[in-house]
Structure 1
Amino acid sequence: MDIRRMLVLVVVARAGSLTAAAARLNYTVSAVSQQIGQLEDEAGQPLVERRPRGVTLTESGRAVVRHAEQIERAVQAAHEELEEIAGLRTGTLRLGTIPTVTESFLPAAIAAFRERHPRVDLRIHSAQRSGIGHLLEAREIDLAITWMREVQDTSDTAGTSTELIFREPNVLLVPAGHELAQRRTVKMEDLRHEPWIIRTSPNVLAVLEEACEAAGFAPIVSFEARSYQEAQAMVAVGMGIALVPQLSLYSLREDIAVISAVTPRPPTRRIVLARRRGERLSPAGAAMGQILMEAGRAWKAAQG
């Protein structure tokens, strides 16, 4: 049965006449009568009894009104819940993040979001870059903060819309006793004979390979680390040097040195907000997105 016509019958029942119902609905009396007639055609039986001073419901009419009122309450509840969500007074936000962000500026963003919107249920999923894409595609998260190479292939952003937060330079890690440890800058071509330590990831390796290729050589990888902290440990004992993102230096060992300027073109990566292409963020997602932009750029400014 047509729900709109069922709801018209509810108004008729409450008003007690077609004339009064028409006034409440801002319809003509004939329009209300037509709606009721069509509803009776759908029901296959009379729903109202027309009397000189109004109408009364038949037994079938009362049954339709009972179900229609349940629909009316459900619609009203939906409106109220949407207003709560729009006002960020309820709802759930599932955020994806990469570990280097989790360990750097994400805590400040979480604190700001919870202070402003304490009733929104915030859930965090941490994953490596490749995992973030899968989580978005599987709809297990609504919004993500991740990284992208400066040079992307088309499959890298398929189905995903991104917004730049900041560009993050990579820095060079060397053992504290290395001959380069006291230098402020270094040229990539001066590193052609050095063994390299990388974090296990095709995309991380691609950043290093692109930088070395621009300097005219291919890197010799001596160790593949599971984390940037493991990479630092291997640098410290002389297994090689490492090119790592600035975000990974939240916990820096004392027995390694950081060379912050690699010339002539320091490798960079883009820290971005990512979401499913063509879909609008929820109010909570939009609010968190703005907070992440602010927190990320504040962190970047503080690094100089």
Structure 2
Amino acid sequence: MLDVRRILLFTEVARRGSVTATARALNYTPSAVSQQISRLEAEAGQPLLERHARGVTLTEAGRALAERGQRIERELRAAENELADFAGLRAGTLRIGTFPTVGASLLPQAVIAFRDAHPDVRLAVRSARIAGLWTMLENREIEMSLMWDYDWSRIDREDIVVTPLLDDPPALLVSDRHPLAGRDAASLADFAHDPWITRADHHPVAEALVRGCRAAGFEPHIAYEAHDYQEAQAMVAAGIGVALAPTLALEGIRPGVSVLPLQPPAPVRRILLVRMADHSLTPAALTFAGLLRDTAAARTP
């Protein structure tokens, strides 16, 4: 059987690309690291590294083992966090994850209600994008997390429990000077010839915009890629173009911007509460989940 400690050491070598750098980081001698890697290769029955003057290169078998090693690291971190819970090292702390638009809209009311009712429980909230939230959940750094999905990218994993909280429909943002600014509602097709302001860095709302516009029969002309919704609003107010944004992202509308409800069909995202299926929620987490459901229900028309 392969030695787990050697696998973890090998994974560190793979990550750093050098036996010497690994030895220095772990306070070992290079010869000690090389000896352990050689023993691991003997256990594996094949070479895992190709050694050269500037470092090391992984063989195909080495790359596969390094990926396994990274999974082992994640599982060990998760085990350490679970044992810390059992030992009471996190007693009195509720750890949850969120993302920016919900952190600025749905979450604050639940946080206030929880802290008023349970002032002795420390609440630790971590905000991140979806990949970061998954990592924190899998490592047990958080008990549960607020997340989102769309109908073309449903969150569907056997190792999680998903609780839908509410639907978050999009709205159209236009300049007060736009000819359609006074309407009670509008469709994407009404803006087929307008330039669009979207989110940068492959943001999910950018995909929602493209999918929605294509369903309406046109390809959006992108005039600006914003890094947050306040930046998008500023460009809308300046007349650069129109924008699509989830309703929960519109808690604060700047002067010069009009919000038009979007007529169906529209790319609606779901707001979800997610936890790992093999993790039973603590009483504090169960209470907070109930407050989130209440807050979401109060927002549902």
Query: Residue 64 of structure 2 aligns with which residue?
Result: none
Query: Residue 175 of structure 2 aligns with which residue?
Result: 175
Query: Residue 126 of structure 2 aligns with which residue?
Result: 125
State the 1:130 CA deviation.
Answer: 3.4
- In terms of mean alpha carbon deviation, does 123-132 or 244-253 score higher? 123-132
Query: Residue 108 of structure 1 aligns with which residue?
Result: 109
Q: Show CA shifts across 1:131-172 (max 9, x none).
A: 322221232211111221122256x75743311111011000
Please give the alpha-carbon distance, in whole angstroms, between the structure 2 residues aligned to 1:106 and 1:91. Answer: 20
Please give the alpha-carbon distance, in whole angstroms, between the structure 2 residues aligned to 1:130 and 1:173. Answer: 28
State the 1:190 CA deviation.
Answer: 2.2
Aligned partner of residue 212 in structure 1, secondary structure: helix
Please give the alpha-carbon distance, in whole angstroms, between the structure 2 residues aligned to 1:160 and 1:199. Answer: 29
2:199 matches 1:191:
no
Please give the alpha-carbon distance, in whole angstroms, between the structure 2 residues aligned to 1:294 and 1:209. Answer: 33
Aligned partner of residue 263 in structure 1, secondary structure: coil
Please give the alpha-carbon distance, in whole angstroms, between the structure 2 residues aligned to 1:152 and 1:202. Answer: 13
Q: Show CA shifts across 1:100-129 (max 9, x none).
A: 122113121111111222222210111233
Query: Residue 5 of structure 1 aligns with which residue?
Result: none
**Quick one: which amino acid aligns to residue 161 of structure 2?**
S
Aligned partner of residue 250 in structure 1, secondary structure: coil
Query: Residue 269 of structure 2 aligns with which residue?
Result: 269
Larger radius of gyration: 1
Query: Residue 203 of structure 1 aligns with which residue?
Result: 204
Query: Residue 40 of structure 1 aligns with which residue?
Result: none
Query: Residue 249 of structure 2 aligns with which residue?
Result: 248
Please give the alpha-carbon distance, in whole angstroms, between the structure 1 residues aligned to 2:185 and 2:232. Answer: 21
Query: Residue 52 of structure 1 aligns with which residue?
Result: none
Q: Show CA shifts across 1:9-32 (max 9, x none).
A: xxxxxxxxxxxxxxxxxxxxxxxx
In 2 relative to 1, CA 206–101 (structure 1 residues): closer, same or farther, beyond 3 Å? Answer: same
Please give the alpha-carbon distance, in whole angstroms, between the structure 2 residues aligned to 1:115 and 1:128. Answer: 28
Query: Residue 139 of structure 2 aligns with which residue?
Result: 138
Query: Residue 97 of structure 1 aligns with which residue?
Result: 98
Aligned partner of residue 185 in structure 1, secondary structure: coil
Number of paired residues?
Answer: 215
Query: Residue 61 of structure 2 aligns with which residue?
Result: none
Query: Residue 81 of structure 2 aligns with which residue?
Result: none
Query: Residue 39 of structure 2 aligns with which residue?
Result: none
2:286 matches 1:286:
yes
What's the TM-score, normalizing by structure 2?
0.66
1:188·1:264 contact (CA, 8 Å) conserved in 2?
A: no
**Quick one: which amino acid aligns to residue 274 of structure 2?**
A
- In terms of mean alpha carbon deviation, does 91-100 or 197-206 score higher? 197-206
Please give the alpha-carbon distance, in whole angstroms, between the structure 2 residues aligned to 1:183 and 1:272. Answer: 31
In 2 relative to 1, CA 184–123 (structure 1 residues): closer, same or farther, beyond 3 Å? Answer: same
Please give the alpha-carbon distance, in whole angstroms, between the structure 1 residues aligned to 2:285 and 2:142. Answer: 10
Query: Residue 161 of structure 1 aligns with which residue?
Result: 161
Please give the alpha-carbon distance, in whole angstroms, between the structure 2 residues aligned to 1:177 and 1:136. Answer: 45
1:95·1:141 contact (CA, 8 Å) conserved in 2?
A: yes
Aligned partner of residue 244 in structure 1, secondary structure: strand
**Quick one: which amino acid aligns to residue 295 of structure 2?**
A
Q: Show CA shifts across 1:188-232 (max 9, x none).
A: 222222211122244222211221121112222221111111110
Q: Which runs of 4+ in 1 moved over 6 A?
A: none
Q: Show CA shifts across 1:62-103 (max 9, x none).
A: xxxxxxxxxxxxxxxxxxx98x99xxxx52111111111221
Aligned partner of residue 161 in structure 1, secondary structure: strand
Query: Residue 44 of structure 1 aligns with which residue?
Result: none
Query: Residue 235 of structure 2 aligns with which residue?
Result: 234
2:150·2:267 contact (CA, 8 Å) conserved in 1?
A: no
**Quick one: which amino acid aligns to residue 241 of structure 2?**
G
**Quick one: which amino acid aligns to residue 130 of structure 1?**
A
Please give the alpha-carbon distance, in whole angstroms, between the structure 2 residues aligned to 1:236 and 1:221. Answer: 16
**Quick one: which amino acid aligns to residue 152 of structure 1?**
S
Ranges in structure 2 where 5+ consecutive residues have no aligned partner? 1-84
**Quick one: which amino acid aligns to residue 175 of structure 1?**
S
